[in-house]
Amino acid sequence: MLDIKFIRENPDAVKENIKKKFQEEKLPLVDQVIELDRRNRDAMTEANTLRAARNTLSKQVGVLMGQAKKDPSKLEEAEAAKAQVKANADRLAELERLEDELAQEIHKIMLIIPQMIDPSVPIGPDDSANVEVERFGEPVVPNYDIPYHTEIMEKFDGVDMDAAGRVSGAGFYYLLGDIARLHSAVLAYARDFMINKGFTYCIPPFMIHGNVVEGVMSQTDMDAMMYKIEGEDLYLIGTSEHSMIGKFIDQIIPEESLPQTLTSYSPCFRKEKGSHGIEERGVYRIHQFEKQEMIVVCAPEDSMAWYEKMWRYSVELFRSLDIPVRQLECCSGDLADLKVKSCDIEAWSPRQKKYFEVCSCSNLGDAQARRLKMRVKGERGTYLPHTLNNTVVAPPRMLIAFLENNLQADGTVKIPQVLWPYMGGTQVLIPKH
């Protein structure tokens, strides 16, 4: 969310930013919110004038009423002063109601106007215009067939989609045996990987209030993702970023405690509306999964350096698991409204002979801090911090990349050395079928 003062002073820049995000339908909102802000400031000025005059008028009424007792000719003047006090009080109440109404309208629009994107963001209407920046590891297509990921899992008796369908419906799964253990091993390794990078491990709440949801994401994303608990002001988190950033709502953070670097484990729950192709079935696009996340709260001047570090952590982790990846810079039209800059880390799929998304790293500038009323207080005064987030790993999607890239010609799955301690020393998974 932008500062209303910034919009007031830079309307053309805000409109140009909206055009770069290919959201022309939002252009009228800029002039609309500026006019509402003008009316609100006028109402506040008049209200402050009336408040300042209130004590003077009240004292004047008292004096005139005292004089009227001695001189009846003063009564008319005293009654006029009383009438003025009453009129001013009525007007002040009207202005306070108007201020409240205008503030709500302004807030509603401000939630819709997108954050200013970084000048380095490539311009394009959708993800087809995202730009590959760099590849890490050699993408290999082996000279043997790579089955669909659920077929690989089934050879290990590692997945049961049918039972999950009977219990919960489409978009759920049971993981079993070696595959379930591999799932947990990857999460545990990712946890320790981030702890070794200096991040503090955290297990957050898995449900959050509506004001936190509004603070961390756009209304469009909320409608597409979040499950609401019926009859309560609680939502299931779509990612632990939501509750981790929400941790700082209405807080003043001591400057000396920055940066806040946290890595969190949680289940994630998502609606995943819409139909998807065959390659996004199985356990690729699901309603429930588990994830290790990283978030950073830092001084504004440090956020781009942290952005660079964070996506490189993802690359380092995936390469340690023998998975080739690439960094893909997200274009303007593919950025969520709160994001200043974002990139995806995509893993190589030898089955599909292409890359697919496994991590998303985002710098949100001060958007979440402003919405959540987060502040930093230090030697330079009070200011808004910047917030960033990035996926560490999100199995079971990550398992797809792992299984495809570590599947051997004989059907076994090689376990990279970094996972041996988390797999009880197991170095190779042997299929049961």
d(CA 192, CA 198): 10
Do 200 and 290 sit in the same domain of this protein? Answer: yes
Task: Find the CATH number of the domain harbouring 19.
Answer: 1.10.287.40
Do 157 and 194 sit in the same domain of this protein? Answer: yes
d(CA 301, CA 343): 19
Q: Check if the beta carbon of residue 359 is closer than 8 Å to that of residue 241.
A: no
Return averaged pLDDT per consecutive 10 residues of the chain, 433 residues in all.
Answer: 95 98 97 97 92 72 60 66 78 94 96 96 96 97 95 96 93 95 97 98 97 90 87 95 97 97 96 54 87 98 98 98 97 96 98 96 97 96 98 93 97 98 97 91
Do 103 and 150 sit in the same domain of this protein? Answer: no
d(CA 20, CA 13): 10
pLDDT of residue 54: 74
* Assigned domain for 272 exists: yes
pLDDT of residue 84: 77
What the block records as the tokens of 154 is 């089934």
**What sections of 113-237 are H helices per DSSP?**
149-155, 161-167, 177-195, 210-216, 219-225
Do 278 and 211 sit in the same domain of this protein? Answer: yes
Do 22 and 145 sit in the same domain of this protein? Answer: no
Do 49 and 196 sit in the same domain of this protein? Answer: no
* Assigned domain for 120 exists: no
Q: Check if the beta carbon of residue 259 is closer than 8 Å to that of residue 299.
A: yes
Q: In which domain, by residue range, is 397 found?
A: 127-429
d(CA 199, CA 183): 22
Query: What backbone torsions phi and psi does residue 123 show, to the nearest 5 degrees?
Result: -95, 130
- The two beta strands, 260-269 and 288-298, are antiparallel
Domain final residue pick, 81, 110, 139: 110
Domain final residue pick, 42, 76, 110: 110
Q: Check if the beta carbon of residue 335 is closer than 8 Å to that of residue 306.
A: no
pLDDT of residue 88: 83
What the block records as the tokens of 41 is 């400031």
Task: Find the CATH number of the domain harbouring 241.
Answer: 3.30.930.10
pLDDT of residue 276: 44
* Assigned domain for 170 exists: yes
pLDDT of residue 279: 46
Domain final residue pick, 110, 143, 173: 110
pTM of the model: 0.89
pLDDT of residue 278: 42
Do 96 and 144 sit in the same domain of this protein? Answer: no
pLDDT of residue 64: 56
* Assigned domain for 8 exists: yes
Do 265 and 349 sit in the same domain of this protein? Answer: yes
Cα separation values, 81 from 55, 57, 74, 88, 313, Å: 12, 7, 11, 10, 72
pLDDT of residue 389: 98
Sign of the Cα torsion 30, 35, 38, 40 reads negative
Q: Check if the beta carbon of residue 176 is closer than 8 Å to that of residue 155.
A: no
Q: How many domains does the chain have?
A: 2
Do 158 and 44 sit in the same domain of this protein? Answer: no
* Assigned domain for 119 exists: no
Do 195 and 271 sit in the same domain of this protein? Answer: yes
Element (H or E) spanning 386, and its range? strand 386-393
d(CA 64, CA 71): 10
d(CA 179, CA 429): 9
Query: What backbone torsions phi and psi does residue 82 show, to the nearest 5 degrees?
Result: -65, -40
Q: Check if the beta carbon of residue 377 is closer than 8 Å to that of residue 253.
A: yes
Query: What backbone torsions phi and psi does residue 396 show, to the nearest 5 degrees?
Result: -85, -5
